[in-house]
Amino acid sequence: MIVIMRTGATEEQVEAVRQHVAGLNLNTIINRGVERTVVAVVGATHPEQRDGLLRLAGVLDVVPISRPYKRASREAKHQNTVVRVGDVEVGGPEPTVMAGPCVIESEEQVVSTARAVKEAGARVLRGGAFKPRTSPYSFRGMGEEGLRLLRLASQETGLPVVTEVMGVRDIDLVARYADILQVGARNAQNYFLLDEVGRVDKPVLLKRGFAGTYEDWLLAAEYVMAAGNQDVILCERGIRTFETYTRNTLDIAAIPVIHHLSHLPVIADPSHGTGRWQLVIPMAIAAIAAGADGLLVEVHPDPDKALSDGAQSLTPDNFRRMMDGVRAVAEVGRLNRNAVSRLGVR
């Protein structure tokens, strides 16, 4: 942290800052310029200490130097993190596509979707058994029976599965069936849940909150990592903006920004990010071209009859078209990812 004194701050005020910092068991380096004095605070600081310093007389501002998310930050670890699920890698050279229905509805629905997405090149099967629906009267998922069908589809195809865990009480149950635990946008700041999935020995797919800044999102990842689980996959799923035409606004810039700020892999969800299937293909391709480490995409064998998110679900045919586009730009994505790691974002 750097403490910037006001012009004309007195020696006594600078000394009071030095003593305050010494009281925190930290050291200072005092730099007296022509115009003003700047005090560097040396040692392991934490964000709350800024407030106490700001209250001292003669202090103009206190500027944090290191990022508040220590474990998730690129400063902490330069090398990209590769999250492994069996023989699937997220964060390696190839983009990893996760696809499947929004919600598991029947054995036939989830198994046929699993076969179709695998054949088109998906490496992970998605599907919800516990669904966070905006209205309590919407279909909220099949619960454990849904998890069982998801596992069955996994056995049929060999694809590992990702599914959402909505609350602490469901973690043991969901972890018995899932290979990756998804924490949804609505739970992106549920710190009890983040703590608890941090104690599970399975990768966590962490969605960005509707109104989450990059810092909010990376601090949420930090909760999981601080609790012991370093295998976090970030997922940009669109944020709420003033636009109403699309369900959310997919923030493609989040991809290079996260690659700059963090070593964690980041994937994009163009389904929830747009809410309209016609937009899913171009936005999936755009996200991969921007360097996304993968995608999370909703696919349904018959979207007109889907019990959830039919409007944004791709048919298997359209999913194949999307995968052709993804393959066409994968090399551009690799170039972008390397450029961000090399040049950073300012």
**Backbone phi, psi, residue 165, to 5°:** -110, 120
Q: Across the chain, which distance is largest between two alpha carbons, in Å? A: 77
Of the pair 196, 309, the CB lying nearest Mn ion is at 309
The span of 33-41, 74-82, 179-187, 215-223 binding ligand PEP (CB under 6 A) equals 179-187
Residue 184 touching ligand PEP (CB under 6 A): yes
Q: How far is the CB of 184 from ligand PEP (least distance, A)?
A: 3
Is residue 295 at the binding interface for ligand PEP, with CB under 6 A as the rule?
A: no
Please count the residues of this chain forming the interface with ligand PEP, following the rule CB under 6 A.
Answer: 10
Is residue 237 a contact point for ligand PEP (CB under 6 A)? yes
Told to check if 207 binds ligand PEP by CB under 6 A, we report yes
Print the binding letters for residues 70-109 with Mn ion: x by CB under 5 A, - otherwise.
--------------------------------x-------
25 dihedral zone (left: phi>0; alpha: psi -120 to 50; beta):
left
Q: What are phi and psi of 231, to 5 degrees?
A: -90, 80
The nearer residue to Mn ion, 20 or 140, going by C-beta atoms, is: 140
CB of 47 to ligand PEP, least distance (A): 27
Residue with tokens 């995608």: 295
- 147 close to 178: Cβ distance less than 8 angstroms: yes
Q: Are 285 and 297 contacting, i.e. CB atoms less than 8 angstroms apart? A: no
SS3 content of the chain, % helix, strand, coil (to 5): 40, 20, 40
Binding mask 71-110 for ligand PEP (x = CB under 6 A): -------------------------------x--------
**What is the identity of the amino acid at 314?**
L
**Among 95, 101, 128, 265, interactor with ligand PEP by CB under 6 A:** 128
DSSP 156: H
Backbone angles phi, psi at 292, to 5 degrees: -55, 145
* Residues at the interface with Mn ion (CB under 5 A): 102, 309
